[in-house]
């Protein structure tokens, strides 16, 4: 496997909530939301790592922590070995162009008063990628890269459809020649026929430019299509991680299975294999003890009340579950569970 461009290690982020006046007067302790809890991941060049999870699982906070739009509480984010969290603000600015983000909503990601050409040129100019003379040619090159014709150069964002805007946003991100691209729900707001265009584009760019792409989405099928490897998040933790093939062929965490069972496949003959999970996602303000999924898990047992270790299933496949991997013989029952601190 190629060397990792982006490495995230034991990343943590908790948000303290403001106390109400009443709570403050009663000296109640401030409540905290655990958004990202001990997350470790790595992405090599030319590789798409998919992160999937439902709302509130911390996937967006994770993306924001990587570029320090949100300051993490602890852990490391290394870009080619350099720890981004140790950098000063000034140093960070120079590094930031190497990591670019694409957000869900292309309507609010573009300045409505800048033409597409000006928006892309601005990014390239700020980071001194091109001089004034070469600017126009460079922007046209970027537009072509994402499949937009040169006529879009002078258009304002409002004259573009959702799919075209998302292409423009991707062109702007690529204009600073990043090594890492983070796409946070980049196709979620698009219609199916357009979504497929953008998915193909992101996959092609990752391969051609050798990007390390962190692709965040809540739709399993989208993740299955674009990713080389997948991390499944639930309430701030990665509950399962492995190659896309492993995760979708033999998921070993009940939550991954629940997501797969709940996914509506466009196949009228499909019959479900797992029962629907019960209840709502617990509040991240008040996390369940032990395994965070045990309150909804159809396989839950007494031992799930203690925090489960990460169980290694070989070839990079890991699951945070002490029931399924053993029950299905993926791990020999005699194997002592690995260190619980992992």
Partner 1 sequence: MTNVPEPLSPMAAAPPDSPDESLLDIRGLTVAFPTRSGLAVAVNDVSLSVAAGETKGIVGESGSGKTMMCRAVLGLIPQPGAILAGEILWKGQDLVTASKRDMRRVRGSQIAMIFQDPASALDPVFTVGDQIAEPLRVHRNMSRKSAQKEAIDLLGHVGIPSARERSHSYPHELSGGMRQRAMIAIAIACRPDLILADEPTTNLDVTIQDQILGLLSDLQREFGMAIVLVSHDLGVVAQNADDVAVMYAGYAVESAPTKLLFSSTRHPYTAGLIKALPTVNIDAQRTMLSPIPGQPPALDHLGSGCPFAPRCQYSAERCLQVDMSLVRVADQHDTACPFALEVMSGDG
Q: By three-state DSSP, how is residue 100 classified?
A: strand
The footprint of partner 1 on this chain (CB under 8 A) covers a number of residues equal to 46
Choose between 71 and 269: whose C-beta lies nearer to partner 1: 269
Alpha helices in 112-216 (DSSP H): 116-126, 132-145, 162-174, 192-209
* Alpha carbon distance 245, 248 (integer Å): 6
Q: Which stretch binds partner 1 (CB under 8 A): 15-23, 70-78, 186-194, 313-321?
A: 186-194
Cβ at position 236, least distance to partner 1 in Å: 15
Q: What's the full length of the chain, in residues?
A: 342
- The pattern of x and - marking residues 34 through 63 that bind partner 1 according to CB under 8 A reads --------------------xx--------
- The strand pair at 311-312 and 318-319 is best described as antiparallel
Asked whether position 151 contacts partner 1 by CB under 8 A, the answer is no
Binding segment for partner 1 (CB under 8 A), chosen from 72-80, 190-198, 299-307, 331-339, is 190-198
Contacts with partner 1 in 248-267 (CB under 8 A)? 248-249, 258-267
Q: Which member of 84, 171, 180, 199 binds partner 1 (CB under 8 A)?
A: 199
> Would you state the structure tokens that stand for residue 327, as one six-digit string?
């029950």
Residues 150, 143: contact at Cβ < 8 Å?
Answer: yes
Burial class (CB in 10 A: 0-12, 13-18, 19+), 57: buried
> Binding residue for partner 1 (CB under 8 A) from 16, 93, 158, 270?
270
**In whole angstroms, what is the distance from residue 189 CA to residue 64 CA?**
19
DSSP state of 296: T
200 lies in the site for partner 1, by CB under 8 A: yes
Contact between residue 250 and residue 198 where contact means Cβ atoms under 8 Å apart: no
221 is an interface residue for partner 1 by CB under 8 A: yes
| Nearer residue to partner 1 within complex by CB, 49 or 67 | 49
One residue of 195, 206, 213, 318 binding partner 1 per CB under 8 A:
195
Cβ neighbours of 86 (radius 10 Å): 11
**Residues interacting with partner 1, by CB under 8 A?**
54-55, 161, 163-164, 191-197, 199-200, 203, 218-222, 224-226, 244-245, 248-249, 258-270, 276-278, 280-281, 296
């Amino acid at each position: 496997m190629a060397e990792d461009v982006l490495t995230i290690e034991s990343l943590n982020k908790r948000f303290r909530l403001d106390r109400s006046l009443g709570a403050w007067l009663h000296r109640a302790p401030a409540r905290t939301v655990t958004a990202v809890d001990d997350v470790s991941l790595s992405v090599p060049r030319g590789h798409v790592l998919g992160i999937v999870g439902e709302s509130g699982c911390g996937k967006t906070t994770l993306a924001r922590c990587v570029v320090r739009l949100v300051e993490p509480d602890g852990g490391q984010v290394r870009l080619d070995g350099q720890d981004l969290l140790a950098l000063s603000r000034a140093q960070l600015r120079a590094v930031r162009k190497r990591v670019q983000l694409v957000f869900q909503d292309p309507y609010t990601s573009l300045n409505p008063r800048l033409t597409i050409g000006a928006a892309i040129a601005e990014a390239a100019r700020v980071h001194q990628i091109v001089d004034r003379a070469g600017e126009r040619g460079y922007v046209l090159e970027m537009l072509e890269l994402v499949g937009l014709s040169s006529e879009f150069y002078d258009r304002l964002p409002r004259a573009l459809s959702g799919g075209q805007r998302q292409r423009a946003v991707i062109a702007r991100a690529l204009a600073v020649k990043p090594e890492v691209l983070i796409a946070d729900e980049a196709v979620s707001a698009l219609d199916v026929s357009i979504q497929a265009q953008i998915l193909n584009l992101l996959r092609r760019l990752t391969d051609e430019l050798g990007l390390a792409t962190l692709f965040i989405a809540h739709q399993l099928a989208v993740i299955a299509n674009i990713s080389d490897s997948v991390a499944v998040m639930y309430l701030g933790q990665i509950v399962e991680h492995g190659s896309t093939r492993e995760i979708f062929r033999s998921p070993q965490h009940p939550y991954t299975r629940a997501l797969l069972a709940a996914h509506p496949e466009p196949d009228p003959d499909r019959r479900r294999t797992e029962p629907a999970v019960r209840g709502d996602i617990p509040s991240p303000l008040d996390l369940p003890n032990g395994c965070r999924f045990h309150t909804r898990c159809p396989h839950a047992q007494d031992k799930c009340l203690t925090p489960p270790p990460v169980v290694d299933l070989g070839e990079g496949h890991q699951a945070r579950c002490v029931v399924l991997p053993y029950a299905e013989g993926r791990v020999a029952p005699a194997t002592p569970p690995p260190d619980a601190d992992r």
